[in-house]
Amino acid sequence: MENLLQLLRLMEEYTDRIFPVAALLLAAEIFFPKSRYSYISKLRGAIFCVANILITKASLTLFYWLWAGIGIKPLFEIDLTFLTRFSNAWPLHALGAIAASFLVLQVSEFFYYWFHRLQHSSRFFWRFHAEHHSLEEMSAFNSNHHFSEEIFRIPFLIIPVSLLFDFKQDYVPWIWVFFVRWQGYFEHSSTRLNLGWVRYIFPDNRFHRIHHSIERRHFNKNFGSGSAIWDILFGTAYYPGAKEWPDVGLPNIREPRNLTEFLVRPFRRGKPG
């Protein structure tokens, strides 16, 4: 009973963080639309999101409990506190904290970038990732990955980073926490609001839409989620023109229409096309 209550508290904390962000982006999609999608798809996406929260939070809570019990120490301890200690002046101190958080993000994104490429090249992983790419009415709410993807990230992302690095930071600025919370939803949003030149560092909705494009010239581009840097370095970055806003989806897999289809369909098929 105690464990169940703890899980419910974690879910409540998670939804408290996520849904206000998605609601703000929903307002942006309504008042500053780039594509107009049905409210049914947004509601359906919200239901899928709740299911993802239930499954992934339970899985990750179990993993972190087991990982803490193993007690394996990382290979490298990297002290980034020097970035905040060279000056007591508030602006420089805050900039140092943001720089430290940015460096930590790049390490995580490096592993995510290559895992994401694996999802597109592996028949096994694509069958699950295809659920995300099947979205035809992609928006902030309707942007869910299949729950299995979060579980696959444990061996391909979380464990490697945990085994290799232990980053020491003085603190993580609230503005950085806010950015990380909304960025993953914003990059899937259908609003004409975008990050402009900042997308050369952080992917926005125009950058990431290319990754979901149905046009062949856009295939295997823009794999990064929290960072565009690895796409640039490995030659997969594609920056859209001013009027470039392609349709999204997959030609032979339609967007899931109900929760059962969303959860079960990947287990019933192989790689499309």
CA distances from 32 to 25, 36, 190, 247, 268 (A): 10, 10, 9, 18, 38
Q: Residue written as tokens 């009415």? A: 137
Check if the beta carbon of residue 221 is closer than 8 Å to that of residue 238. Answer: yes
Collect all residues with Cβ–Cβ distance below 8 Å to 43 and sequence separation of at least 6.
Answer: 141
Q: What is the pLDDT along the chain (273 residues), one digit of tens a residue?
A: 444 444 445 445 555 566 677 788 989 999 999 999 999 999 999 899 888 888 888 888 889 889 888 988 899 999 999 988 876 777 888 899 999 999 999 999 999 999 999 999 999 999 999 999 999 999 998 999 999 998 999 999 999 999 999 999 888 887 787 788 788 899 999 999 999 999 999 999 999 999 999 999 999 999 999 999 999 999 999 999 999 999 999 998 999 999 999 999 999 864 443
Note whether 118 and 172 are within 8 A (CB): no
pTM: 0.89
End-to-end distance of the chain based on CA atoms, in angstroms?
46
- Which residue pairs from 203-209 have beta carbons closer than 8 angstroms and sit at least 24 positions apart in sequence? 203/227, 203/228, 205/34, 206/240, 206/244, 206/245, 207/239, 207/240, 209/138, 209/240, 209/245, 209/246, 209/248
Partners of 213 in beta bridges: 248
